Amino acid sequence: MKIAILGGDGFVGWPTALHLSDAGHDIHILDNLSRRWIDTELGVQSLTPMDSIQERTRIWHAETGRRIHFNLIDLARDYELLKKWLAEHRPDAIVHFAEQRAAPYSMKTDRHKNYTVNNNVNATHNLLNALVELDLDAHLVHLGTMGVYGYSTIGAAIPEGYLPVGIDTMGGETVSQEILYPSNPGSIYHMTKCLDQLLFQFYAKNDGLRITDLHQGIVWGTHTEQTRRHPQLINRFDYDGDYGTVLNRFLIQAAIGYPLTVHGTGGQTRAFIHIQDSVRCIELALNSPPARGSRVEIFNQMTETHRVRDLAEMIARMTGSEIAWLPNPRKEAAENDLVVHNEKFLALGLDPIRLQDGLLSEIVDVAKKFAYRVDRTRVPAVSAWTKDIAPLINHDPEGKRLKSVS
Protein backbone atom coordinates (compact mmCIF):
# COMPACT_ATOMS: atom_id res chain seq x y z
CA MET A 1 0.00 0.00 0.00
CA LYS A 2 0.90 3.65 -0.34
CA ILE A 3 0.57 4.91 3.24
CA ALA A 4 0.65 8.50 4.50
CA ILE A 5 1.89 8.74 8.09
CA LEU A 6 0.83 12.05 9.60
CA GLY A 7 3.16 12.95 12.46
CA GLY A 8 5.70 10.37 11.30
CA ASP A 9 8.63 12.12 13.01
CA GLY A 10 7.21 11.50 16.49
CA PHE A 11 7.60 8.97 19.30
CA VAL A 12 5.23 6.39 17.80
CA GLY A 13 5.16 7.77 14.26
CA TRP A 14 8.84 7.20 13.47
CA PRO A 15 9.05 3.51 14.47
CA THR A 16 5.71 2.95 12.71
CA ALA A 17 7.11 4.44 9.50
CA LEU A 18 10.14 2.13 9.69
CA HIS A 19 8.03 -0.93 10.54
CA LEU A 20 5.62 -0.41 7.63
CA SER A 21 8.41 0.47 5.20
CA ASP A 22 10.20 -2.72 6.22
CA ALA A 23 7.00 -4.64 5.45
CA GLY A 24 7.14 -3.37 1.86
CA HIS A 25 4.75 -0.42 1.92
CA ASP A 26 5.40 2.92 0.18
CA ILE A 27 5.69 5.36 3.10
CA HIS A 28 5.17 9.13 3.00
CA ILE A 29 5.62 11.14 6.21
CA LEU A 30 3.69 14.40 6.61
CA ASP A 31 4.87 16.39 9.64
CA ASN A 32 5.35 20.00 10.72
CA LEU A 33 8.18 18.98 13.12
CA SER A 34 6.34 20.73 15.98
CA ARG A 35 7.55 18.17 18.53
CA ARG A 36 11.12 19.31 17.89
CA TRP A 37 10.10 22.95 18.37
CA ILE A 38 8.42 22.03 21.67
CA ASP A 39 11.75 20.56 22.83
CA THR A 40 13.25 23.97 22.16
CA GLU A 41 10.42 25.74 23.96
CA LEU A 42 10.74 23.54 27.04
CA GLY A 43 14.54 23.66 27.06
CA VAL A 44 14.81 19.88 27.08
CA GLN A 45 15.89 17.25 24.57
CA SER A 46 15.26 13.61 23.86
CA LEU A 47 17.46 11.38 26.00
CA THR A 48 18.50 9.62 22.80
CA PRO A 49 20.27 11.84 20.22
CA MET A 50 17.99 12.46 17.24
CA ASP A 51 19.15 13.42 13.77
CA SER A 52 17.00 15.49 11.39
CA ILE A 53 14.16 13.69 9.68
CA GLN A 54 16.03 14.05 6.39
CA GLU A 55 19.11 12.32 7.84
CA ARG A 56 16.97 9.62 9.43
CA THR A 57 15.32 8.77 6.13
CA ARG A 58 18.69 8.88 4.33
CA ILE A 59 20.14 6.33 6.76
CA TRP A 60 17.07 4.10 6.34
CA HIS A 61 17.52 4.14 2.57
CA ALA A 62 21.24 3.39 2.91
CA GLU A 63 20.52 0.45 5.24
CA THR A 64 17.55 -1.07 3.42
CA GLY A 65 17.33 0.36 -0.08
CA ARG A 66 13.80 1.55 0.75
CA ARG A 67 12.79 5.20 0.64
CA ILE A 68 10.62 7.04 3.14
CA HIS A 69 9.44 10.35 1.69
CA PHE A 70 9.14 13.44 3.93
CA ASN A 71 6.75 16.35 3.39
CA LEU A 72 6.75 19.44 5.62
CA ILE A 73 3.02 20.17 6.09
CA ASP A 74 1.11 21.60 9.05
CA LEU A 75 -2.19 19.73 8.96
CA ALA A 76 -3.94 22.12 11.31
CA ARG A 77 -3.05 25.25 9.34
CA ASP A 78 -2.22 24.22 5.77
CA TYR A 79 -5.54 22.79 4.59
CA GLU A 80 -5.05 23.61 0.91
CA LEU A 81 -1.51 22.20 0.94
CA LEU A 82 -2.77 19.01 2.62
CA LYS A 83 -5.60 18.68 0.12
CA LYS A 84 -3.22 19.24 -2.80
CA TRP A 85 -0.86 16.53 -1.50
CA LEU A 86 -3.71 14.04 -1.01
CA ALA A 87 -5.10 14.80 -4.48
CA GLU A 88 -1.71 14.19 -6.08
CA HIS A 89 -0.70 11.04 -4.19
CA ARG A 90 -4.07 9.47 -3.28
CA PRO A 91 -2.74 7.10 -0.60
CA ASP A 92 -4.44 3.77 0.08
CA ALA A 93 -4.26 4.33 3.84
CA ILE A 94 -3.52 7.15 6.27
CA VAL A 95 -2.13 6.77 9.79
CA HIS A 96 -2.92 9.86 11.88
CA PHE A 97 -0.48 10.67 14.71
CA ALA A 98 -0.38 14.43 14.02
CA GLU A 99 -1.58 15.68 17.40
CA GLN A 100 0.02 17.21 20.48
CA ARG A 101 0.17 14.09 22.66
CA ALA A 102 1.07 15.15 26.21
CA ALA A 103 -1.61 15.71 28.85
CA PRO A 104 0.69 17.74 31.16
CA TYR A 105 1.78 20.00 28.28
CA SER A 106 -1.87 20.62 27.40
CA MET A 107 -2.51 21.84 30.98
CA LYS A 108 0.52 24.10 31.47
CA THR A 109 -1.10 27.47 30.67
CA ASP A 110 -4.04 28.93 28.78
CA ARG A 111 -1.76 29.24 25.74
CA HIS A 112 -0.93 25.54 25.82
CA LYS A 113 -4.62 24.65 26.17
CA ASN A 114 -5.48 26.76 23.12
CA TYR A 115 -2.61 25.33 21.11
CA THR A 116 -3.60 21.73 21.89
CA VAL A 117 -7.24 22.27 20.92
CA ASN A 118 -6.44 24.26 17.77
CA ASN A 119 -3.74 21.84 16.61
CA ASN A 120 -5.44 18.55 17.40
CA VAL A 121 -9.05 19.26 16.44
CA ASN A 122 -8.23 21.29 13.32
CA ALA A 123 -5.76 18.67 12.08
CA THR A 124 -8.33 15.90 12.40
CA HIS A 125 -11.16 17.87 10.81
CA ASN A 126 -8.99 19.19 7.98
CA LEU A 127 -8.04 15.64 7.13
CA LEU A 128 -11.61 14.31 7.18
CA ASN A 129 -12.87 17.30 5.22
CA ALA A 130 -10.22 16.82 2.53
CA LEU A 131 -10.95 13.10 2.17
CA VAL A 132 -14.61 13.86 1.48
CA GLU A 133 -13.85 16.75 -0.86
CA LEU A 134 -11.47 14.59 -2.92
CA ASP A 135 -13.70 11.48 -2.81
CA LEU A 136 -10.63 9.63 -1.53
CA ASP A 137 -11.53 6.20 -0.15
CA ALA A 138 -8.42 5.77 2.00
CA HIS A 139 -8.58 3.76 5.22
CA LEU A 140 -7.87 6.17 8.10
CA VAL A 141 -6.20 4.70 11.20
CA HIS A 142 -6.09 7.17 14.11
CA LEU A 143 -4.03 6.85 17.26
CA GLY A 144 -6.34 7.74 20.13
CA THR A 145 -5.98 7.09 23.84
CA MET A 146 -7.41 4.96 26.63
CA GLY A 147 -7.79 8.30 28.41
CA VAL A 148 -11.04 9.02 26.56
CA TYR A 149 -12.67 6.59 29.01
CA GLY A 150 -11.39 8.39 32.10
CA TYR A 151 -9.98 6.54 35.07
CA SER A 152 -12.99 6.08 37.31
CA THR A 153 -13.89 2.75 38.86
CA ILE A 154 -17.26 1.35 37.82
CA GLY A 155 -16.72 -2.31 38.62
CA ALA A 156 -17.00 -3.46 34.99
CA ALA A 157 -14.61 -4.00 32.09
CA ILE A 158 -14.37 -1.24 29.49
CA PRO A 159 -15.52 -2.55 26.09
CA GLU A 160 -13.83 -1.80 22.78
CA GLY A 161 -15.56 1.42 21.89
CA TYR A 162 -19.25 0.61 22.08
CA LEU A 163 -21.55 0.02 25.03
CA PRO A 164 -24.85 -1.88 24.72
CA VAL A 165 -27.64 -0.01 26.54
CA GLY A 166 -31.35 -0.44 27.04
CA ILE A 167 -33.56 2.58 26.41
CA ASP A 168 -37.14 2.79 27.67
CA THR A 169 -39.55 3.87 24.96
CA MET A 170 -42.69 5.94 25.46
CA GLY A 171 -44.66 2.76 24.79
CA GLY A 172 -43.17 1.11 27.87
CA GLU A 173 -40.82 -1.19 25.97
CA THR A 174 -37.05 -1.40 26.25
CA VAL A 175 -35.05 -1.20 23.04
CA SER A 176 -31.39 -2.12 22.72
CA GLN A 177 -28.83 0.22 21.22
CA GLU A 178 -25.05 0.42 21.05
CA ILE A 179 -23.57 3.82 21.84
CA LEU A 180 -20.03 5.16 22.09
CA TYR A 181 -18.71 4.36 25.53
CA PRO A 182 -19.27 7.55 27.58
CA SER A 183 -16.21 9.79 27.42
CA ASN A 184 -14.67 11.20 30.57
CA PRO A 185 -11.53 13.17 29.61
CA GLY A 186 -8.96 13.93 32.30
CA SER A 187 -7.13 16.76 30.52
CA ILE A 188 -7.41 19.13 27.56
CA TYR A 189 -5.37 16.64 25.52
CA HIS A 190 -7.79 13.83 26.35
CA MET A 191 -10.71 16.12 25.57
CA THR A 192 -9.40 16.65 22.02
CA LYS A 193 -9.31 12.89 21.53
CA CYS A 194 -12.95 12.72 22.66
CA LEU A 195 -13.80 15.39 20.08
CA ASP A 196 -11.94 13.31 17.48
CA GLN A 197 -14.29 10.43 18.27
CA LEU A 198 -17.34 12.54 17.48
CA LEU A 199 -15.79 13.81 14.24
CA PHE A 200 -15.09 10.23 13.19
CA GLN A 201 -18.62 9.09 14.01
CA PHE A 202 -20.13 11.90 11.92
CA TYR A 203 -17.93 11.45 8.86
CA ALA A 204 -18.32 7.66 8.88
CA LYS A 205 -22.10 8.01 9.11
CA ASN A 206 -22.51 10.98 6.78
CA ASP A 207 -19.86 10.32 4.13
CA GLY A 208 -18.99 6.65 4.45
CA LEU A 209 -15.34 7.20 5.44
CA ARG A 210 -13.54 4.05 6.56
CA ILE A 211 -12.05 4.82 9.97
CA THR A 212 -10.29 2.80 12.68
CA ASP A 213 -9.73 4.48 16.06
CA LEU A 214 -7.06 2.95 18.31
CA HIS A 215 -7.46 3.73 22.01
CA GLN A 216 -3.87 3.24 23.11
CA GLY A 217 -2.44 2.75 26.58
CA ILE A 218 0.79 4.29 27.88
CA VAL A 219 3.72 3.35 25.65
CA TRP A 220 6.93 2.06 27.20
CA GLY A 221 10.20 0.96 25.67
CA THR A 222 12.59 2.51 23.17
CA HIS A 223 13.65 0.06 20.48
CA THR A 224 11.79 -1.77 17.76
CA GLU A 225 13.31 -4.33 15.41
CA GLN A 226 13.93 -1.60 12.84
CA THR A 227 15.35 1.12 15.13
CA ARG A 228 18.07 -1.32 16.26
CA ARG A 229 19.53 -1.53 12.76
CA HIS A 230 21.58 1.65 12.97
CA PRO A 231 22.41 4.09 15.82
CA GLN A 232 20.94 6.99 13.84
CA LEU A 233 17.57 5.25 13.51
CA ILE A 234 17.01 5.26 17.27
CA ASN A 235 13.64 6.45 18.53
CA ARG A 236 13.22 9.48 20.75
CA PHE A 237 13.09 8.91 24.53
CA ASP A 238 11.29 11.53 26.63
CA TYR A 239 12.06 11.71 30.34
CA ASP A 240 10.80 15.18 31.31
CA GLY A 241 7.74 15.88 33.42
CA ASP A 242 5.58 16.88 30.45
CA TYR A 243 6.32 14.28 27.77
CA GLY A 244 7.95 11.37 29.58
CA THR A 245 5.60 8.42 30.10
CA VAL A 246 5.48 7.00 33.62
CA LEU A 247 7.36 3.70 33.20
CA ASN A 248 10.08 5.19 30.99
CA ARG A 249 10.45 8.01 33.52
CA PHE A 250 10.90 5.54 36.39
CA LEU A 251 13.59 3.74 34.42
CA ILE A 252 15.58 6.87 33.57
CA GLN A 253 15.23 8.06 37.17
CA ALA A 254 16.64 4.75 38.36
CA ALA A 255 19.50 4.96 35.85
CA ILE A 256 20.66 8.39 37.04
CA GLY A 257 20.09 7.85 40.77
CA TYR A 258 17.01 10.10 40.94
CA PRO A 259 14.14 9.21 43.30
CA LEU A 260 11.23 7.48 41.57
CA THR A 261 8.54 10.16 41.56
CA VAL A 262 5.14 8.77 42.56
CA HIS A 263 2.38 11.37 42.70
CA GLY A 264 -0.40 11.01 45.24
CA THR A 265 -0.94 7.51 46.57
CA GLY A 266 0.26 5.90 43.34
CA GLY A 267 -3.07 4.11 43.24
CA GLN A 268 -3.77 5.22 39.67
CA THR A 269 -4.16 2.17 37.44
CA ARG A 270 -3.03 2.65 33.86
CA ALA A 271 -2.98 0.57 30.67
CA PHE A 272 0.39 -0.12 29.04
CA ILE A 273 1.80 -1.32 25.72
CA HIS A 274 5.37 -1.79 24.46
CA ILE A 275 6.44 0.34 21.49
CA GLN A 276 7.07 -2.81 19.40
CA ASP A 277 3.49 -3.98 20.05
CA SER A 278 2.20 -0.52 19.23
CA VAL A 279 3.61 -0.63 15.69
CA ARG A 280 2.42 -4.22 15.26
CA CYS A 281 -1.10 -3.22 16.24
CA ILE A 282 -1.12 -0.40 13.71
CA GLU A 283 -0.10 -2.85 10.99
CA LEU A 284 -2.82 -5.30 12.08
CA ALA A 285 -5.41 -2.52 11.97
CA LEU A 286 -4.29 -1.44 8.49
CA ASN A 287 -4.69 -5.01 7.28
CA SER A 288 -8.26 -5.25 8.68
CA PRO A 289 -10.09 -2.16 7.38
CA PRO A 290 -13.81 -1.65 8.00
CA ALA A 291 -16.16 -1.77 5.02
CA ARG A 292 -17.27 1.50 3.47
CA GLY A 293 -20.46 2.66 5.16
CA SER A 294 -19.84 0.75 8.39
CA ARG A 295 -19.39 2.39 11.76
CA VAL A 296 -16.00 3.40 13.12
CA GLU A 297 -13.93 0.36 14.12
CA ILE A 298 -12.51 0.77 17.63
CA PHE A 299 -9.68 -1.21 19.24
CA ASN A 300 -8.31 -0.93 22.77
CA GLN A 301 -4.59 -0.92 21.99
CA MET A 302 -3.11 -2.10 25.26
CA THR A 303 -1.67 -5.33 26.64
CA GLU A 304 -1.71 -5.04 30.45
CA THR A 305 -2.65 -2.78 33.36
CA HIS A 306 -0.65 -1.81 36.45
CA ARG A 307 -0.93 0.52 39.42
CA VAL A 308 1.67 3.26 39.39
CA ARG A 309 2.96 2.42 42.88
CA ASP A 310 3.33 -1.25 41.93
CA LEU A 311 5.48 -0.23 38.97
CA ALA A 312 7.59 2.03 41.18
CA GLU A 313 8.10 -0.72 43.75
CA MET A 314 9.06 -3.19 41.00
CA ILE A 315 11.66 -0.79 39.56
CA ALA A 316 12.92 0.04 43.06
CA ARG A 317 13.50 -3.64 43.81
CA MET A 318 15.21 -4.13 40.46
CA THR A 319 17.54 -1.13 40.76
CA GLY A 320 17.79 -0.29 44.46
CA SER A 321 16.19 3.12 43.87
CA GLU A 322 14.32 5.17 46.45
CA ILE A 323 10.72 6.28 45.95
CA ALA A 324 9.65 9.91 46.44
CA TRP A 325 5.95 10.31 47.31
CA LEU A 326 4.89 13.69 45.95
CA PRO A 327 1.70 15.77 45.65
CA ASN A 328 -0.29 14.94 42.53
CA PRO A 329 -0.34 17.75 39.92
CA ARG A 330 -3.36 16.14 38.25
CA LYS A 331 -7.00 16.42 39.26
CA GLU A 332 -7.95 12.75 39.42
CA ALA A 333 -9.12 10.02 41.75
CA ALA A 334 -6.45 8.93 44.23
CA GLU A 335 -7.22 5.26 43.56
CA ASN A 336 -8.85 3.56 40.60
CA ASP A 337 -9.20 0.14 39.06
CA LEU A 338 -9.00 -0.39 35.31
CA VAL A 339 -10.26 -3.49 33.54
CA VAL A 340 -10.12 -3.36 29.75
CA HIS A 341 -11.23 -5.63 26.94
CA ASN A 342 -8.57 -6.05 24.21
CA GLU A 343 -9.72 -9.23 22.48
CA LYS A 344 -9.76 -7.77 18.96
CA PHE A 345 -5.99 -7.46 18.54
CA LEU A 346 -5.41 -10.80 20.25
CA ALA A 347 -7.84 -12.39 17.76
CA LEU A 348 -5.82 -10.83 14.90
CA GLY A 349 -2.67 -12.55 16.16
CA LEU A 350 -0.98 -10.09 18.53
CA ASP A 351 1.44 -11.88 20.88
CA PRO A 352 1.98 -9.22 23.58
CA ILE A 353 5.32 -8.21 25.05
CA ARG A 354 4.95 -8.15 28.84
CA LEU A 355 6.86 -6.18 31.42
CA GLN A 356 8.45 -9.35 32.75
CA ASP A 357 9.89 -10.24 29.34
CA GLY A 358 13.28 -8.76 30.16
CA LEU A 359 13.11 -5.50 28.24
CA LEU A 360 13.15 -3.27 31.31
CA SER A 361 16.88 -3.80 31.79
CA GLU A 362 17.43 -2.92 28.13
CA ILE A 363 15.79 0.47 28.70
CA VAL A 364 17.93 1.06 31.79
CA ASP A 365 21.00 0.32 29.68
CA VAL A 366 19.88 2.89 27.09
CA ALA A 367 19.21 5.38 29.87
CA LYS A 368 22.65 4.86 31.42
CA LYS A 369 24.35 5.20 28.02
CA PHE A 370 22.84 8.62 27.45
CA ALA A 371 22.54 9.78 31.07
CA TYR A 372 24.98 12.62 30.36
CA ARG A 373 22.21 14.24 28.28
CA VAL A 374 19.79 14.47 31.22
CA ASP A 375 18.86 17.84 32.71
CA ARG A 376 17.83 16.85 36.23
CA THR A 377 15.80 20.05 36.68
CA ARG A 378 13.45 18.88 33.91
CA VAL A 379 12.63 15.56 35.56
CA PRO A 380 9.88 16.69 38.01
CA ALA A 381 6.28 16.84 36.80
CA VAL A 382 5.22 20.39 37.63
CA SER A 383 2.36 21.22 35.21
CA ALA A 384 -0.65 21.64 37.50
CA TRP A 385 -4.20 20.84 36.42
CA THR A 386 -5.76 23.73 38.39
CA LYS A 387 -4.66 26.98 40.00
CA ASP A 388 -5.51 25.51 43.42
CA ILE A 389 -3.14 22.57 42.88
CA ALA A 390 -0.24 24.67 41.55
CA PRO A 391 1.07 25.91 44.96
CA LEU A 392 1.26 22.31 46.24
CA ILE A 393 3.63 21.04 43.51
CA ASN A 394 7.08 19.86 44.59
CA HIS A 395 9.60 21.34 42.14
CA ASP A 396 12.63 19.83 43.89
CA PRO A 397 12.16 16.13 44.79
CA GLU A 398 15.90 15.74 45.40
CA GLY A 399 15.99 18.63 47.87
CA LYS A 400 19.11 20.06 46.23
CA ARG A 401 18.07 23.62 45.54
CA LEU A 402 19.61 26.42 47.57
CA LYS A 403 17.44 27.45 50.50
CA SER A 404 17.06 31.08 51.52
CA VAL A 405 18.10 31.99 55.08
CA SER A 406 15.37 33.79 56.99
CA distance 269 to 358: 22
Catalytic, out of 57, 124, 145, 245: 145
Q: What does the H/E/C string look like for 229-255?
A: HCHHHCCCCCCCCCCCCHHHHHHHHHH
Q: Identify any residues that bridge with 325 across adjacent strands, giving them in sequence order.
A: 262
Q: In the annotation, is 193 catalytic?
A: yes
Give the distance, in angstroms, between the CA of residue 259 and the centroid of all CA atoms in the same chain. 25
The candidate with the shortest Cα–Cα distance to 221, out of 357, 106, 316, is: 357
The backbone torsions φ and ψ at residue 115, rounded to the nearest 5 degrees and listed phi first, read -60, -45
DSSP readout, 89-107? Answer: H--SEEEE--S---HHHHT
Q: In the annotation, is 189 catalytic?
A: yes
Catalytic, out of 105, 115, 189, 239: 189
The candidate with the shortest Cα–Cα distance to 251, out of 282, 228, 268, 274, is: 274
The candidate with the shortest Cα–Cα distance to 55, out of 249, 234, 284, 205, is: 234
Q: In the annotation, is 84 catalytic?
A: no
DSSP readout, 146-163? Answer: GGGG-S---SS-B-SSEE
Amino acid identity, position 167: I
Question: Catalytic positions, please?
Answer: 145, 189, 193
